[in-house]
Structure 1
Amino acid sequence: MNFSTVNKKTDRGFLLLAIAFIILSFVQCTPKHQVASSVQAGTAADHADKGLKDYYKKYFPIGVAVSMASLHGLDSALIVKEFNSVTPENDMKMGPIHPSENIYNWKNADKIVDFGLSHHIKIRGHNLCWHNQEAAWMFKGIDGKPVTKELLLQRLKDHIFAVAGRYKGKIYAWDVVNEAVDDSDDTTQIYRKSNWYNICNGPDFIEAAFRYAHEADPQAKLYYNDYNSEHPVKREKIYKLLKKLIEDHVPVDGVGMQAHWKLNEPAPDELRKALDEVTSLGLKVQFTELDITIRLPQQKTATAATAQPTPDPGYTPELEAQQIAQYKMAFDIFRQYKKFITGVTFWNVSDRYSWLDGRGGGLMGGAAAGLNAPRAVIKAYPLLFDENRERKKAYWSVVNF
């Protein structure tokens, strides 16, 4: 027997045992949070080719509101990867697209439609009749006085036939009437006292708009769109409006719940109640303008001159955790109601830009408001992609189910 050979084998055996011991000790001593981080990173890498639209392929389309700036560069690539529906943020609203009686600004709207068609992305139209970003000329005659109800409805019909008719067969759904329900706690006042309401001396313009839209594009799905749809008083007002439209055989297919939400609103029960009421009427639902701000709203009693913006604490871990939980709650419920929900659309692409950043960080009233809203920038961080267009932790709370 050659003892030098035995010693070499023995040394090699001890060396292997020592290496195994070191590896075992490292694994046992590695902090659990590091292991979790590795798993999360692996999950992200494993699904790098999937977007929101792919995770929700069996549920409903996932959309995003776009501007002209969104159609180029990194935003464009993100939209194509993650979404399968787009909504023009401002470019189809009455004021921007139809600023005077014989002038239509088709350029931006056409480009958005062309972008959707070229990438096989569905297109939602937003919107045909609204009290904000309205065309002021529509309410005045040559003498500068308010027009008659008959003339106003004729102008509305001409507008809807022109816009919905131009995109017939290209836009699959329209927000026909936007925010026509009163936002106060006065249960006796159902409708907003807008120019439309005042000149028509009532809500007849709502029914008329839906009938005109259906005539202009019989295949398009037609939605009534509003915010605070989960708040008990307004929820009941919206329900009464929809019920009346159905009883009057108005061609309405569903309701758009805008879903401009906060870290503590809506509560799960409020959201389910709103969904149950709408779907009991046989209507479909789309969540049309989803974002979840981390900011508290300004006080509604403050005047524009004295209102102070909410201090900006940044996107802290505590606020992030609340946002993650709220997004998870919302999409858990969305999936439970998948047979009624025909789309979920985020309002803007990433935290790099959000309409909320120009609202003092809080919501005083409503929806994705007019272009003349205050522009003091306080970040709201309301979306699933951060300022670098990277997926936030809230993204994974939405797709890991």
Structure 2
Amino acid sequence: MKSCAHSSPASQVRLCENCELPVDTIPLEPGQTADCPRCGTTVYRSEHASLNGNLALAITCLLLFIPSYYFDFITIRLVGVNIEGTLMEGFHALVKEGYLGLALLTMFCHTIAPLAMCFSILSAHFSLRRHWFMPLKWSLFILDHSRHWVMLDVFLISVAISCFKLQDYSDIFVGNALYSLVILQVITILIINRVSTRRYWELWHPESRLAITEKRIHCHSCHLSQQENTACIRCGSALHHRKPNSMQKTWALLIAATIAILPANLIPISILITNGQLLEDTIFSGVASLINNDMLGIAIIIFVASIVVPVAKIVGLAYLLICIQFNMVKNHRHALMIYRAIKWIGKWSMTDLFVIAIMLTLVDRGQILNFTPGFGAVAFGIVVVLTMLAAESIDPRLLWDKHASKIQSESDNTVE
């Protein structure tokens, strides 16, 4: 890891995408990254990983999806009947219960997003070989945006939680697909850490061949720093110093999430019928029942993922917006760390929704034992999506605007 300040010609400079500080590009050893000296963001990294390796990993993932879908990831024996849980069964069960939105959300996070990421890598390689611009541009756009929604790790944690919940009612057996899912998760982590969309754009049209005299604006599509312009000279995407209407969009999403979090916590999120007895659980009562059943570890995970994380995201984003709007940012690097933490923890709120989908797949035995989602799950799904979109819509460079203006003003005064 290296920090690089700016002292080089324009051709050797790249703008930090989180604070817009010009940073020198210097040769790196394999595994090294160059970090912004002001905000600590990784500006670029060594590009020694093989692109054919990315392709091989993507193809491996696609092949692993076949056993992951056609075989059961978990099997339970309930009242003498073996019930197999598959990824598609969870989707069909939610649709059957009338929760199409939840079915699509869970399906998107554990299936569609990983598939989109892998297919976009294949498409990018094929487009480079055929010299197709628009397929390459769309492939890299999908790759950039889909990997934030890949949640196989959250799904696997949810499988473990579901097993703990069901251990008192049934015998549990690990299915063949679970091994495939674990390997799939490991490979998706490798892909997310390896793949750089900028490298594909560099193969399409290297920066060294572009006439760039100064670097004042950064393209977030192909990651090219360039002179002032309305459209990127490499990929044609619209250029903006700041995301258009970033504050307004984030406030709107955040207010909507704040409203939705009330029914998400007050209305039952799941309904369990056992021996004719109806048990309605809100998020709080579900945590309490886990504690009463001596499942403290699972209770802590659910409490953090379903209560602490959504509230922390809303409070954290509101804090950042207020700091930006009223120029209250004191420690800029600390504020950026809060922003990064909010983006990282966002997906873990999906844990409860995955657990609901898995439980619904496995538990449907009429009056003996029956499980169904409550309307609180719909509100909770809305909170998860809105807070993740709010974290994506805020522009972290706004945190540094007043800071940069103050430094420039002090510099001008010194010169005078």
Please tell me the TM-score bracket, short chain as reference: under 0.3
* Higher helix fraction (1 or 2): 2
Rg comparison, structure with higher value: 1
Bigger relative CO (Cα 8 Å, ≥ 6 apart)? 2
